Chains A and B, each alone.
Chain A
């Protein structure tokens, strides 16, 4: 005889304002097998949990139904409470009467009726619950960080500092990311490279850190605690061990006209190159698309000048397989395509540039040696117009609906630095809003506007017209003065929206980590679990999760490392017992389940079966690896013979729920 206890939560007024909680208690108390029913203002509070525990003991409950918020919120809380009272935690059932009922309905009578029906369905399911025992799995004490920008660097350093080995995989030949290209950092104006490069060196020197540069993640399998990752080390055509980074090859290479990615194409590099002076690792790489030797076998100059004998034209991509307990996504961002905004004439004029290009033009290690010269004629610009929100906060399909968050501050920085270095230059900033929340941020912006005389204009630029005399006719609206403006500018700087790395979507698929519509990784909880992906064992660091500046990225990287350290310091993980299992007698080995399984948890075995006539027969049957299965249930739907079933969400339980709802 089953004894079910029903507990209905008010959630303050969250539920009680729309659902008549007392009526739900009364209705559910009359359901068969229900021996106890009660309501409480906050069931998740300690006294609410005590109410559940006491009822379990007093009424010797065999199942518990809690009508409250989504099971994503507090299922774990209630399961723990039940377990401490001696009830198997998987005998607890949660009916979601908040997100799926009170929050979305207005009519109290209708919402109450729906809450009762949801409660009934949960009781029907609870009656068929069976006690489940979670298995355990080991933890590989090594972490993988994907992306070697400041987010990945800081996460790796913090994990390594705690004593765990960590690998960084970076697709470019060097770590450092965007921060290496930036000139100064706001709001303190310290030199970006000066604070970044020591961290890069630390990564190279820390014995717990391995750097896979010029490498990409090829595939990921496994689950939290034991991931197996294949990493493609792209052919550099340079022996990493032998190369001393002397750079002689990069001086002798006869191919001189390759646009230099690091300087955003403002100058050229050779076909064999080291991205920049402080690159880590400082190892040359040959560009196979431009190298004459690799293209047509004619040259070989670098090989002849290399004293270390490091050049190897026969090198091929290498796939290495590594095992990890945790994976961190730190794939960062890219500058969005400003050519979609034809009115800004980016493709029409060399003197319309993006803010990142402006960073290179003012950087002492940049193509102009830090002297601000305009790209078209190398002359000093006397009027500069900065346009903010180019692609950000744009509801059109070509733009991004979100605020890129960093542009207001870096534009204030650019404007201030320009006025400081070149007081004869007039600087205009067009903005929708100036957003400067952050420590010392607003003070910084006000200094730019008030002390440095930057002209801040609330308004939008409608069109930029390149003139025959080389100037740019900027046509704009000043929304406060309500007038049309024409500014004759020498240089226009576009604060382009930032967007997640193009590689992120592919990686998310490999990691089975969810993303939002803008391709930012989704966190497990926007407030309470901001550095974890909903997929266990996957963690998020930096802009891949959402736009953020350097201080915020570094904070998040540290938080992410703390979560990884917490995981790696465990010896064993308790698994999820709600996994699929196959009834071998019903399975006909059709492979439908394996085809839909996103985790690769299903394999096939040839098993001997005893037939009615006492002969034996070998049949191919499905077998689920419970450690890999995530309990998504896709296989149970796909299985044509009904052999696949999911513990805790069995086919009969789902049918019982549906029956209860339709009653």
Chain B
């Protein structure tokens, strides 16, 4: 059992409780113990970090420092947390003024300089566990399911900093779906924005974005869509309607690994 520092994020403790529980359960099955960071705070979401000040990045900085001192890595499941942690970490590495300011404020000793690595659960699956091992661990293959992977933007961009996958034609979720025994559906809007926080200010605009994503997937024959992002899930379910079932990726993962009772969506 490999121990790895884990940053759940607040949505995973509220609305998306299953996302948290299923991610941990699947991790345990595949040999990883997610060790929750002590006293972690909300990452602030991608929205607040767009402002050029350090206060909005302190929560991420604390989590990163903790991870440095507890194994050197931190894993996330939520796209937004991943984005914020990784971008903040990059800022520590490239912006010495920012790093110095945070260290003075936090009094971290030794000062944090971006030593920790931020990884997404997908990256662990792809790069360390390997999809072959995942395929072997699948108890209930999702045969015949046509699953549309929805990347959204937070997993992929800015691509130089996140270096998660190709920003235009990513493949990790497709490979993940194949490993679970289902058929990935290629559709063009898979890496387009769902509307994001726009739903707060201009709900109609957000609705248009979500509808475009959904109709593109439906057109290509999907019967289910998976995402790693609570905000995407919110927009795709609340701001658009369609025949498509929208699920967290951990949900289908847990189902295929036989961690869910009855094997159906809980």
Note all chain A residues with C-beta closer than 8 A to B186.
Answer: 348
- Check A468 against B219 for contact (C-beta < 8 Å): yes
Which of chain A's residues 315-351 have a Cβ closer than 8 Å to chain B? 341-343, 345, 347-348
Measured in the bound complex, the distance between the Cα atoms of B169 and A348 in whole Å is 9
Measured in the bound complex, the distance between the Cα atoms of B216 and A348 in whole Å is 15
- Check A468 against B221 for contact (C-beta < 8 Å): yes
Measured in the bound complex, the distance between the Cα atoms of B166 and A345 in whole Å is 13
Is residue A549 within 8 Å, beta carbon to beta carbon, of the partner chain? no
Indicate whether A342 sits within 8 Å of B188 (C-beta atoms), given known contacts A465-B216, A467-B219, A468-B220: no
- Check B219 against A463 for contact (C-beta < 8 Å): no
Note all chain A residues with C-beta closer than 8 A to B69.
Answer: none
B189 to chain A, nearest CB (A): 7
Is residue B168 within 8 Å, beta carbon to beta carbon, of the partner chain? yes
Note all chain B residues with C-beta closer than 8 A to A426.
Answer: none
Note all chain A residues with C-beta closer than 8 A to B167.
Answer: 342
- Check A473 against B188 for contact (C-beta < 8 Å): yes
- Nearest to A469 among chain B residues (CB) is B219
- Check A465 against B169 for contact (C-beta < 8 Å): no
Note all chain A residues with C-beta closer than 8 A to B220.
Answer: 468
Measured in the bound complex, the distance between the Cα atoms of B220 and A473 in whole Å is 13
Measured in the bound complex, the distance between the Cα atoms of B204 and A393 in whole Å is 37
Measured in the bound complex, the distance between the Cα atoms of B219 and A466 in whole Å is 11
- Check B188 against A466 for contact (C-beta < 8 Å): yes
Interface of B is mostly: loop
- Check B169 against A342 for contact (C-beta < 8 Å): yes
Measured in the bound complex, the distance between the Cα atoms of B169 and A467 in whole Å is 16
Task: Report the interface size class on chain B.
Answer: 10 to 19
Chain B 140-180 interface mask (CB, 8 Å, partner A; 1/0): 00000000000000000000000000111100000000000
A470 to chain B, nearest CB (A): 12
Measured in the bound complex, the distance between the Cα atoms of B219 and A348 in whole Å is 16
- Check A463 against B188 for contact (C-beta < 8 Å): yes
Note all chain A residues with C-beta closer than 8 A to B189.
Answer: 465
Which of chain A's residues 461-488 have a Cβ closer than 8 Å to chain B? 463-468, 473
Note all chain B residues with C-beta closer than 8 A to A465.
Answer: 188-189, 216
A494 to chain B, nearest CB (A): 14
Note all chain A residues with C-beta closer than 8 A to B188.
Answer: 345, 348, 463-466, 473
Note all chain B residues with C-beta closer than 8 A to A347.
Answer: 169
Chain B 179-222 interface mask (CB, 8 Å, partner A; 1/0): 00000001011001000000000000000000000001001110
B152 to chain A, nearest CB (A): 15
- Check B168 against A342 for contact (C-beta < 8 Å): yes
- Check B166 against A342 for contact (C-beta < 8 Å): yes
Note all chain A residues with C-beta closer than 8 A to B192.
Answer: 463
- Nearest to B216 among chain A residues (CB) is A465
Which of chain A's residues 446-469 have a Cβ closer than 8 Å to chain B? 463-468
Note all chain B residues with C-beta closer than 8 A to A348.
Answer: 169, 186, 188
Note all chain B residues with C-beta closer than 8 A to A345.
Answer: 188
Chain A 332-375 interface mask (CB, 8 Å, partner B; 1/0): 00000000011101011000000000000000000000000000
Measured in the bound complex, the distance between the Cα atoms of B188 and A343 in whole Å is 9
Note all chain B residues with C-beta closer than 8 A to A468.
Answer: 219-221
Which of chain A's residues 25-76 have a Cβ closer than 8 Å to chain B? none
Measured in the bound complex, the distance between the Cα atoms of B216 and A342 in whole Å is 18
Measured in the bound complex, the distance between the Cα atoms of B189 and A50 in whole Å is 75
- Nearest to B160 among chain A residues (CB) is A397
- Check B216 against A343 for contact (C-beta < 8 Å): no
- Nearest to A468 among chain B residues (CB) is B219
Note all chain A residues with C-beta closer than 8 A to B168.
Answer: 341-343
Measured in the bound complex, the distance between the Cα atoms of B219 and A468 in whole Å is 6
Note all chain B residues with C-beta closer than 8 A to A473.
Answer: 188
- Nearest to B186 among chain A residues (CB) is A348
Measured in the bound complex, the distance between the Cα atoms of B216 and A34 in whole Å is 84
Measured in the bound complex, the distance between the Cα atoms of B188 and A406 in whole Å is 31
- Nearest to B191 among chain A residues (CB) is A342
A311 to chain B, nearest CB (A): 44
Most chain A beta-carbon neighbours within 10 Å: one of B168, B186, B189: B168
Note all chain B residues with C-beta closer than 8 A to A464.
Answer: 188
- Nearest to B219 among chain A residues (CB) is A468
Note all chain B residues with C-beta closer than 8 A to A342.
Answer: 166-169
- Nearest to A340 among chain B residues (CB) is B168
B185 to chain A, nearest CB (A): 10
Note all chain B residues with C-beta closer than 8 A to A466.
Answer: 188
Measured in the bound complex, the distance between the Cα atoms of B167 and A465 in whole Å is 15
- Nearest to A345 among chain B residues (CB) is B188
- Nearest to A467 among chain B residues (CB) is B219
B219 to chain A, nearest CB (A): 5
Measured in the bound complex, the distance between the Cα atoms of B167 and A347 in whole Å is 14
- Nearest to A342 among chain B residues (CB) is B168
Chain B 73-114 interface mask (CB, 8 Å, partner A; 1/0): 000000000000000000000000000000000000000000
Which of chain B's residues 210-262 have a Cβ closer than 8 Å to chain A? 216, 219-221
Chain A 2-21 interface mask (CB, 8 Å, partner B; 1/0): 00000000000000000000
Measured in the bound complex, the distance between the Cα atoms of B145 and A329 in whole Å is 57
Measured in the bound complex, the distance between the Cα atoms of B188 and A466 in whole Å is 7
Measured in the bound complex, the distance between the Cα atoms of B219 and A473 in whole Å is 13
Measured in the bound complex, the distance between the Cα atoms of B188 and A473 in whole Å is 9
- Nearest to B220 among chain A residues (CB) is A468
Note all chain A residues with C-beta closer than 8 A to B219.
Answer: 467-468
- Nearest to B187 among chain A residues (CB) is A465
B51 to chain A, nearest CB (A): 27
Note all chain B residues with C-beta closer than 8 A to A341.
Answer: 168
B131 to chain A, nearest CB (A): 21
A463 to chain B, nearest CB (A): 7
Measured in the bound complex, the distance between the Cα atoms of B37 and A601 in whole Å is 66
- Nearest to B218 among chain A residues (CB) is A468
Measured in the bound complex, the distance between the Cα atoms of B168 and A464 in whole Å is 11
Measured in the bound complex, the distance between the Cα atoms of B169 and A335 in whole Å is 21
B38 to chain A, nearest CB (A): 41
Measured in the bound complex, the distance between the Cα atoms of B169 and A343 in whole Å is 8
B134 to chain A, nearest CB (A): 25
B228 to chain A, nearest CB (A): 20
Note all chain A residues with C-beta closer than 8 A to B166.
Answer: 342
Measured in the bound complex, the distance between the Cα atoms of B188 and A468 in whole Å is 10
Measured in the bound complex, the distance between the Cα atoms of B216 and A467 in whole Å is 8
Measured in the bound complex, the distance between the Cα atoms of B167 and A286 in whole Å is 41
Measured in the bound complex, the distance between the Cα atoms of B218 and A467 in whole Å is 11
B223 to chain A, nearest CB (A): 14
Measured in the bound complex, the distance between the Cα atoms of B167 and A473 in whole Å is 19
- Nearest to A343 among chain B residues (CB) is B168
Measured in the bound complex, the distance between the Cα atoms of B186 and A64 in whole Å is 75
A594 to chain B, nearest CB (A): 44
Most chain A beta-carbon neighbours within 10 Å: one of B167, B188, B219, B220: B188
Measured in the bound complex, the distance between the Cα atoms of B189 and A347 in whole Å is 16
List 23 A–B pairs whose Cβ atoms lie within 8 Å, in order of A's numbering: A341-B168, A342-B166, A342-B167, A342-B168, A342-B169, A343-B168, A345-B188, A347-B169, A348-B169, A348-B186, A348-B188, A463-B188, A463-B192, A464-B188, A465-B188, A465-B189, A465-B216, A466-B188, A467-B219, A468-B219, A468-B220, A468-B221, A473-B188
Told that A342-B167, A468-B220, A473-B188 touch, could you supply 13 new A-B pairs with CB distance under 8 A?
A341-B168, A342-B168, A343-B168, A345-B188, A347-B169, A348-B186, A348-B188, A463-B188, A465-B188, A465-B189, A467-B219, A468-B219, A468-B221
Q: Which 8 A-B pairs have the closest CB atoms?
A: A342-B168, A465-B188, A342-B169, A468-B219, A343-B168, A468-B220, A342-B166, A466-B188
Residues of B within 8 A of A (CB): 166-169, 186, 188-189, 192, 216, 219-221
Residues of A within 8 A of B (CB): 341-343, 345, 347-348, 463-468, 473
